[in-house]
Amino acid sequence: MSLSRISVFLVFYFILGFATARNLEFTTFFDDESCFDDEYFDHMSLQCTACPANQTAVEDPYTCTCVPGFKVVGDGPDLKCEPCPPLQVTSSDKRSCVPCYESFSFNDTLKECQPCSESYIMTDKSLNGTSLGSMECIECTNDTVPGDRVCVPCHTSFYAASGGSCMCPNTHVQLGGICTPLSDLAKIPDKKSCYTVKYENGESVQSLFFEKNYRVAAHSCAFSQNKSACQLLSNMCVLLHYDFSDEFNACEYYREKFGDNFVNLPDFVPWLYYTEGEANVYLTKSRLKTHYSFNKDNPNSKFNFTVAKYSAEGHFLKYGLLEDVLTLCPLIDFQLHAAVQFGTTFSQSCSINVKDLWNKYATEFYDVFLQYYDDEEHMIYAIPVLNRNYKEDDSLVNRQDQKKWQLTRRFFLFDNISGKESLSPNTKDKKKRARVVRYAQSIEIIVQLREGEGDGLIYPPLIKITYGEIGDEDYESNKMVETNLKVLYTMNFSKIREDISIAVGVVSAFATVWSLIGAWRWSRRCGKAGLDLPTILNFLVIVCGNLSNVFFLVMFFACFYLTIFFKRQDVVHLFILIDSQETLIKQILTAACFLKLVQVIHIVYVQVTLDMFIIDWEQPRAKNSIPHPQLLNSPEEEEKLKGEQPISIWRTYFIANEWNELQTYRKIDLGCQLFLTLLFLKVIGFENLAAADPNSSLSVNNGNYNSPQSYVCRFAISMSVYVIIVAVQWIFRVVFYERYVDNKLQQIIDLCSIANISIFILEHKMYGYYIHGRSAHGYADVDMQCIYEQMKREEEDLCGHRGLEPSSECQTFEVSITYKFREQYDTILQPVRGFAGIRNPGGRGKMRSVEMEQSFQAHETMKRFFGMFLQHALKDLDYIVKEKFFLESILDVEFQQADDRCVFFRDNNHAFDRVLFYGHEISFILFEMLLFTFVDVVAYDFVLAALVTYIFSYLMKKVRNTGGRKNVVHKTLVDQRFLI
């Protein structure tokens, strides 16, 4: 062969080998149940592999054997199956062929011999293994019965009944392989209800399992004291959900024969029922003396739950720790070590394919105990079970008040045997399987702390089980069902509820009193003479805001206290609250959110409807040689003002614009606030500290179990982070930024002084604020050089002071006005009530509208009115300047009446900020915190909570800006086109 042909051959061989190589990285999934009869499951490749010719895997899914009529030839990989000669069958060892005991007994279709008579066995080997040369039918002696190719002794009941043979006399009946006396059997009811299993979906099944086992188990247990039979009878009662209130069944027989509780129960009968109506007694026993600890190094940091497992037929299977014995589903089984860690709230669920409920899970029964020490004596305590599907008179009593509970002992996880019918297959594919299967939908292990009796002591744990059902119609649907296991730690919530109720009640009383003061303050500032509907409504609004504040504060400090003490306690004195106990806190926080919303809406409404006016102190100073456009069509006015320069309106527009921009100014940047909150909670991991686990950390333990979050901890930690970030922003803004960089409130005051403009604001009918901006130089409409010279004169104290009073720097005042002042104010504005400020006059060259003329006149009249009033030039309208009393400052109320003169209260703390968002910063912060909390209560998502909070606050700010802008235009009579 030439070198080139060899090279081509090697290349072809390499390519062929590569193409047929087994892919070890990824492959199709199979399991042993997905293989056909002519395939076996290869445990090396984990694939279904076809059996060689004439072989099958029916007997063992993991290996192939010769089909009937073929014998084994060879061994190992060379094993083959050859056909037997005609009229011969495979021997018992499958290595030879033998004829049947009679030539006519050969079944050519099945390649097997016809079965022997009832008392015979078929074999081709003698007892010592010698071949008999053919398949022979050998009769069993009268003291044996046919077994698997061998005669075996019959049940002892046959010997006792017949005097030494395997015959069951006429006075007896063979039942379940036992020769049972008819006289004894007559004492066991044989009714249809004994074999009927009723399901919650309304179906009733005549159960094959009950028909085969009920009477024999009842007889063997009651008359022979057979422990396995008693276990079987008990299992059938458990499959009935302990129901005895209907017609006669296994539970009724159990209770009638052995009693309805464990008192005086025979030692060969399993314990099923606790005493009726005494659930409270058994769940509050103090027998357990173990002091459990959160410290993982402590030997008592784990529960020693011990489980006894039994088969459906009553055979004992296993006894050991819960994490080793209990089989629920792979995902949960893998993490059961965390379920027994003391103090760690466990919650895990997994989905199961409905087909697996029929095929993969066995019906097994469990009794759970808790190991403990009593004065150095090692003992176990029986753990009660609350089957939430248990019924009495068609009522689910175990879902009602605890006083009605019926505690039981044993439970199952899956039931795929009771639903198999005894008559004929009723499934869609006519196979013998259960019409209904049941599964443990939810399992809760409740551990309650014994408070006041020592550290780490507990009451007996309780296992709550809720079962679900699935019908045969879903067998082929690939539907998934969910099962979950929870371990919850709780304590007596009545004391905490009482403490919270007392705290809420006490602070609510103070809040109501403070609200009464607030309503009284409002009525005085609005000039109310008595109690009326607006006063009551305002009182309700104030109450809403104050109650919201106290609700939030009480819930925050309560949750903060529970979180800190739960996480940091070395000696166990309390558990964190469970979901049902957190409902009260969630309800109060939700109420607080909506109450605060009422207050915020009211604040916005007041701010967009208040009265204000911008007072221009500028006086004409120079002659005007150019006719003013206003005077072209008014010779009288032109003659009157001849030689006077009209005052520029631009300073008024400028101040109006600055005030408009200031309306939604705040101390806190909400975007920054929410971003930093999410950064600390989600990125840095403070959210993970909310786990219902005393040993939680900032990071998630990948590969290990992580406890679900407690809402109490979640709320306390999220709000703590939020408050700290707010405090940092607030301190930075007030202490540093506004002092050394930019103080917008002080700037608007300084700007008013430079512009020679004052602002008069009436937040309520008889109460408001005054920002005195009259220039100390008497004029402000000057060029740049004059401005600098004026500022220099002020620095060198060469001019008067900016304050309203001589030799005073106080420029801001709280104002309490008289009724007469209010009447005069309303009279001036009466002609322009309902106008939306100065509107677009229409096209060029058209006549000015009547509304504009009235607005101009009202503006000028109001400006002159305020100018004369503030200069004490009105005889009947005057004012005095005072200091507030200490109590007035504390209560924010005015005891000093404005009877005949208005009262100006000196205020250097910028009280006028209450007509801006800036002055209600705490209210808005609390509302945003409560809104953040409310969304998190509903969605359990911090990101969504931050997003909703930002959007809602943005919309609220938009409404405030729009409404505030319209109000400035309407109340100050400025042209809306010049507000940017």
More confident residue, 410 or 638: 410
- Render pLDDT for 371-383 as a digit per residue (tens, 0 to 9): 988 878 888 999 9
476 has a pLDDT exceeding 80: yes
Q: Which residue has the tokens 């000669």?
A: 85
802 contacts 758 by C-beta, under 8 angstroms: no
Q: What angle do helix axes 670-678 and 942-972 make, rounded to 10 degrees?
A: 180
Least Cα distance to 962 among 973, 951, 970 occurs for: 970
**What's the average model confidence in pLDDT over 103-111?**
83
- Render pLDDT for 739-761 as a digit per residue (tens, 0 to 9): 889 899 999 998 998 888 999 99
According to the model, what pLDDT value does residue 540 have? 95
721 contacts 677 by C-beta, under 8 angstroms: yes
According to the model, what pLDDT value does residue 816 have? 93
pTM score > 0.85 for this model? no
- Render pLDDT for 912-929 as a digit per residue (tens, 0 to 9): 999 999 999 999 999 999
- Lowest mean pLDDT of 72-81, 464-473, 649-658, name the range: 72-81
CB-neighbour burial class of residue 278 (10 A; exposed 0-12, middle 13-18, buried 19+): middle
According to the model, what pLDDT value does residue 881 have? 92
Count CA atoms closer than 13 A to 1's CA, side-chain side: 7
User: What one-character DSSP code corresponds to residue 707?
Assistant: P
Whole-angstrom distance, CA of residue 306 vs CA of residue 386? 18
**What's the average model confidence in pLDDT over 388-413?**
92
Least Cα distance to 578 among 446, 385, 441 occurs for: 446
User: What one-character DSSP code corresponds to residue 481?
Assistant: E
**3-state SS assignment for residue 153:** strand
Whole-angstrom distance, CA of residue 969 vs CA of residue 979? 8
Residue 98 token pair: 């033998």
In this structure, what are the phi and psi dihedrals at residue 952, rounded to the nearest 5 degrees?
-65, -45
DSSP run (H or E) holding 511? helix 493-525
Residue 839 token pair: 């509107």
Whole-angstrom distance, CA of residue 336 vs CA of residue 323? 5
How long is the chain? 980
**3-state SS assignment for residue 138:** strand
According to the model, what pLDDT value does residue 551 have? 96
Whole-angstrom distance, CA of residue 488 vs CA of residue 641? 88
In the chain the first and final C-alpha atoms are separated, in Å, by: 97
**What's the average model confidence in pLDDT over 284-309?**
89
Res. 841 pLDDT band, cuts 50 70 90: very low
User: What one-character DSSP code corresponds to residue 662?
Assistant: H
9 has a pLDDT exceeding 60: no
According to the model, what pLDDT value does residue 144 have? 84
Whole-angstrom distance, CA of residue 895 vs CA of residue 524? 9
Q: Which amino acid is at 33?
A: E
Whole-angstrom distance, CA of residue 447 vs CA of residue 445? 7
- Render pLDDT for 172-226 as a digit per residue (tens, 0 to 9): 888 777 888 888 788 888 888 889 999 988 888 999 999 989 988 998 898 888 8
More confident residue, 662 or 432: 662
834 has a pLDDT exceeding 70: no
Q: Give, in order, the Cα–Cα distances in Å from 613 to each of 716, 762, 763, 860.
A: 46, 9, 12, 11
Least Cα distance to 208 among 219, 222, 197 occurs for: 197
**What's the average model confidence in pLDDT over 134-150?**
85
286 contacts 459 by C-beta, under 8 angstroms: yes
Whole-angstrom distance, CA of residue 700 vs CA of residue 79? 55
Residue 450 token pair: 């014994």
What CA dihedral angle connects 779, 782, 788 and 792, to 10 degrees?
A: -20
More confident residue, 896 or 515: 515
User: How many CB atoms within 10 Å of residue 897?
Assistant: 10
According to the model, what pLDDT value does residue 552 have? 96
CB contact burial 243-269 (16+ within 10 A = b; e otherwise): bbeeeebbbbbbbeebebbbeeeeeeb
DSSP strands (E only) in 693-806: 757-764, 767-771
CB contact burial 614-626 (16+ within 10 A = b; e otherwise): bbbbbeeeeeeee
- Lowest mean pLDDT of 168-177, 467-476, 608-617, name the range: 168-177
DSSP 156-201: HHHHHHHTSSS---TTEEEETTEEEEHHHHTTS---GGGGEEE-TT
According to the model, what pLDDT value does residue 6 have? 43
Least Cα distance to 444 among 465, 469, 460 occurs for: 465
Whole-angstrom distance, CA of residue 709 vs CA of residue 578? 10
What residues contact residue 271 under an 8 Å CB cut-off, 6+ apart? 262, 265, 382, 409
Bridging pattern class, strands 879-882 and 902-906: parallel
What residues contact residue 692 under an 8 Å CB cut-off, 6+ apart? 344, 345, 489, 576, 707, 708, 709, 710, 713
882 contacts 875 by C-beta, under 8 angstroms: no
DSSP strands (E only) in 772-858: 812-816
Whole-angstrom distance, CA of residue 682 vs CA of residue 680? 6
658 contacts 968 by C-beta, under 8 angstroms: no
What CA dihedral angle connects 328, 333, 335 and 337, to 10 degrees?
A: 100
**What's the average model confidence in pLDDT over 955-972?**
92
What CA dihedral angle connects 623, 624, 630 and 632, to 10 degrees?
A: 120
CB contact burial 181-206 (16+ within 10 A = b; e otherwise): beeebeebbeeeebbbbbbeeeeebe
What residues contact residue 919 under an 8 Å CB cut-off, 6+ apart? 911, 912, 913
230 contacts 314 by C-beta, under 8 angstroms: yes
780 has a pLDDT exceeding 70: yes
